């Protein structure tokens, strides 16, 4: 198998038809691995992401047969830089998109490729994948070389097991679905929906392009009120990210959002992700007015959505992660997802270096640590960048500044000299190189660098001051006077030349002549 890496949006855009063909053929694929979902997600994702794409050979026209979406997370701590490869897709389900007939070859090929990368941890979070595929993947990470830990997915707050995911297989007929429920639930749903269908005091509206923004605002307001006490400081960010995600998903035709009303009062809303390719509805988020004392809004909205899905010919209603008891009243079966963490035995990155994709992130973190005065961690960040990209201009410059502040002028000089070779037009590099040479007492060399700084930035006085300072150290006072006069003369012209030659300046002579005439 040949593996390519897809890491730009234009490259991903070209794969839409190929991706959809593989997605349609894979019975394990789900909406969070669909091209439309991932394209929207990655268009707004910070940090490096990449997709491993497998095909039979290197030929340009050979179609891909599998895709593995991943992302890279970087942390600087404990005097080193650590990478964690994580799954890309969603907080709910992740996995691999693969033609079933080639999974025995593709999945080990993906695993071998990942083993060649530089990482300390590989986190397979919320993995919705058959045991067959999981075994194929994990077999390439033997316990002799890697720690393998299963993640406990039971919430410590409420005991909900997030590894258990209830779902309903939908029949073709609404009444046939109702017959799968208990008699009490069946009667309850019929009674509640009858109230809605009567269009009396209760009704349900479904979002349109004209109403979606307001409907989403209503949903998020209810959801925030319910969960802010638990989410705390994370809530504002979660509201923003969910708003952006649901908006772009709605624009792509992936969201069904009904709102339950009591007269003119919105009392609950529910957002469901719609996958027309796999014919599934996936319940994503709900919120309700906690002060409403009427019919059970959650039951009504789920029943309404399930009925609508059946009318459209959809085959599954997925409640996603969590075994909350109410979900099972809708006639659910259950699937399991898993969380597994692979870690290197020594705790460091494979290969002992950073991944090139992480360089912008490492630089950003190192610069922030530098700004906060955490020089040791900032230094390791700069060093790790220069190990894989020795001519990285920003890392050279910032590391040189850090070493200068530490008093390591010899090492700083090497970095600034390299920087001037890499970026001969970088004004600041010449200035910094001149300054460290001064600190080392190398005034002749410092003078040359300051003169280059002056040539590149003649309007700044810093260069004149630095040149003068070096000439004083070198005892070249006559040259300092000449340089000062050369700098002043273009502005003063004839008067400066006469003054330099011992004559009167024109304004002085005029003043003297005027004074004599008064006597």
Q: Decide if pLDDT at 176 tops 70.
A: yes
Residue 514 has which token pair?
């005027």
Quick one: 386 and 324 in the same domain?
no
**Domain membership flag for residue 380:** yes
**Domain membership flag for residue 355:** no
Quick one: 295 and 238 in the same domain?
yes
**Domain membership flag for residue 158:** no
Contacts of 186 (CB under 8 A, 6+ apart): 178, 179
Instruction: For residue 81, report the phi and psi dihedrals to the nearest 5 degrees.
Output: -110, 125
**Domain membership flag for residue 506:** no
Contacts of 345 (CB under 8 A, 6+ apart): 145, 146, 147
How far apart (Å, rounded) are the C-alpha atoms in residues 258 and 250? Answer: 13
Quick one: 12 and 56 in the same domain?
yes
For 261, the domain range is 164-335
| Local structure of residue 94 (DSSP, 8 states) | B
Quick one: 282 and 398 in the same domain?
no
**Domain membership flag for residue 315:** yes
Quick one: 168 and 148 in the same domain?
no
User: Model confidence at 89, in pLDDT bands (50, 70, 90)?
Assistant: low
Out of 344, 373, 389, pick the residue that ends a domain. 344
CB 126, CB 339: distance < 8 Å: yes
**Domain membership flag for residue 350:** no
Quick one: 385 and 417 in the same domain?
yes
Quick one: 406 and 325 in the same domain?
no
Residue 127 has which token pair?
């993995």
User: Model confidence at 499, in pLDDT bands (50, 70, 90)?
Assistant: very low
Q: Decide if pLDDT at 247 tops 60.
A: yes
The closest alpha carbon to 393, from 370, 360, 346, 344, belongs to 360
Domain CATH code at residue 407 = 1.25.40.10
**Domain membership flag for residue 351:** no
Q: How many domains does the chain have?
A: 3
CB 358, CB 74: distance < 8 Å: yes
| Residue-wise DSSP of 146-207 | EEEEEPP-B-TTT--BTTEEEEEE--SSHHHHHTTS-HHHHHHHHHHHHHHHTTSSEEEEE-
The predicted model gives 208-220 an average pLDDT of 96
The predicted model gives 323-331 an average pLDDT of 96
User: Model confidence at 501, in pLDDT bands (50, 70, 90)?
Assistant: low
Q: Decide if pLDDT at 287 tops 90.
A: yes
Helix, strand, coil % over all residues of the chain, rounded to 5: 50, 20, 30
Instruction: Give residue 464's pLDDT.
Output: 80
Query: In 61-220, which ranges are E strands?
Result: 66-77, 80-87, 97-98, 121-127, 146-150, 164-169, 202-206
How far apart (Å, rounded) are the C-alpha atoms in residues 373 and 376? Answer: 9
Instruction: For residue 442, report the phi and psi dihedrals to the nearest 5 degrees.
Output: -95, 75
CB 267, CB 292: distance < 8 Å: yes
User: Model confidence at 227, in pLDDT bands (50, 70, 90)?
Assistant: confident
Residue 458, SS3 per DSSP: coil
Quick one: 121 and 176 in the same domain?
no
Give the global pTM: 0.84
Domain CATH code at residue 295 = 3.40.630.30
Out of 344, 379, 396, pick the residue that ends a domain. 344
Contacts of 476 (CB under 8 A, 6+ apart): none
Quick one: 393 and 490 in the same domain?
yes
The closest alpha carbon to 82, from 344, 393, 266, belongs to 344
User: Model confidence at 339, in pLDDT bands (50, 70, 90)?
Assistant: very high
Instruction: Give residue 206's pLDDT.
Output: 97
Residue 479 has which token pair?
């040259």
How far apart (Å, rounded) are the C-alpha atoms in residues 272 and 246? Answer: 10
Cα separation values, 158 from 230, 419, 476, Å:
11, 56, 80
User: Model confidence at 506, in pLDDT bands (50, 70, 90)?
Assistant: very low
**Domain membership flag for residue 516:** no
Quick one: 216 and 134 in the same domain?
no
Read off the pLDDT of residues 430-483 as tens digits, 9 standing for 90 and up. 999 999 999 999 999 998 998 899 888 888 888 888 888 888 888 887 776 776
How far apart (Å, rounded) are the C-alpha atoms in residues 203 and 196? Answer: 5
Quick one: 284 and 370 in the same domain?
no
Instruction: Give residue 487's pLDDT.
Output: 58
* Of 74-78, 218-222, 428-432, 514-518, minimum mean pLDDT range: 514-518
Out of 302, 335, 368, pick the residue that ends a domain. 335
The predicted model gives 181-186 an average pLDDT of 95
Quick one: 118 and 192 in the same domain?
no
* Of 39-48, 149-158, 167-176, 343-352, minimum mean pLDDT range: 39-48
């Amino acid at each position: 198998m040949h593996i390519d890496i897809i890491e730009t949006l234009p490259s991903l855009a070209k794969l839409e038809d190929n991706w959809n063909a593989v997605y349609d053929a894979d019975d394990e694929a789900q909406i969070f691995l669909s091209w439309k979902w991932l394209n929207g997600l990655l268009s707004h994702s910070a940090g490096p992401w990449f997709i491993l794409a497998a095909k039979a050979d290197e030929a340009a026209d050979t179609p891909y047969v599998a895709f593995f979406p991943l992302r890279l997370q970087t942390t600087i701590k404990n005097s080193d830089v650590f990478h964690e490869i994580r799954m890309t897709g969603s907080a709910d389900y992740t996995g691999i998109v693969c033609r079933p007939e080639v999974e025995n070859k593709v999945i080990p090929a993906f695993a071998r490729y990942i083993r060649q990368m530089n990482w300390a941890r590989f986190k397979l979070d919320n993995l919705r994948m058959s045991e067959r595929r999981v075994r194929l993947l994990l077999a390439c990470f033997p316990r002799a070389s890697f720690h393998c830990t299963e993640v406990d997915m039971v919430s410590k707050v409420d005991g909900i097991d997030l590894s258990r995911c209830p779902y309903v297989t939908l029949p073709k007929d609404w009444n046939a679905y109702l017959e799968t429920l208990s008699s009490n639930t069946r009667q309850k749903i019929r009674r509640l929906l009858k109230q809605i269908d009567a269009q009396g005091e209760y009704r349900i509206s479904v979002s349109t392009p004209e109403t979606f923004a307001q409907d989403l605002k209503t949903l998020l307001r209810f959801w925030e009120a319910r969960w802010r006490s638990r989410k705390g400081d994370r809530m504002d960010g979660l509201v923003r990210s969910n708003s952006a995600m649901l908006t772009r998903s709605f624009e792509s035709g992936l969201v069904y959002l009904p709102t339950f009303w009591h007269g003119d009062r919105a009392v609950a809303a529910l957002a469901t992700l719609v996958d027309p390719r796999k014919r599934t509805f996936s319940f994503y988020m709900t919120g309700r007015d906690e002060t409403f004392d009427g019919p059970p809004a959650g039951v009504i909205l789920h029943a309404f959505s399930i009925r609508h899905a059946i009318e459209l010919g959809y085959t599954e209603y997925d409640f996603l992660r969590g075994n909350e008891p109410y979900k099972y009243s809708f006639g659910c079966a259950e699937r399991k997802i898993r969380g597994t963490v692979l870690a290197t035995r020594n705790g460091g990155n494979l290969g002992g270096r950073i991944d090139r994709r992480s360089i912008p992130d490492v630089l950003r973190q190192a610069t922030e640590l530098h700004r906060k005065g955490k020089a040791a961690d900032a230094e390791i960040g700069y060093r790790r960048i220069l190990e894989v990209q020795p001519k990285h201009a920003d890392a050279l410059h910032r590391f040189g500044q850090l070493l200068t502040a530490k008093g390591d002028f010899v090492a700083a000089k090497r970095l600034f000299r390299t920087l001037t070779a890499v970026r001969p037009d970088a004004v600041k590099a010449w200035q910094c190189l001149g300054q460290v040479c001064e600190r080392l007492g190398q005034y002749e060399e410092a003078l040359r660098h300051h003169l280059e700084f002056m040539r590149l930035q003649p309007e700044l006085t810093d260069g004149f001051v630095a040149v003068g300072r070096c000439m004083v150290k070198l005892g070249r006072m006559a040259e300092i006077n000449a340089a000062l006069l050369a700098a002043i003369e273009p502005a003063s012209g004839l008067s400066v030349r006469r003054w330099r030659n011992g004559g009167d300046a024109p304004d002085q002579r005029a003043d003297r002549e005027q004074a004599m005439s008064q006597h």
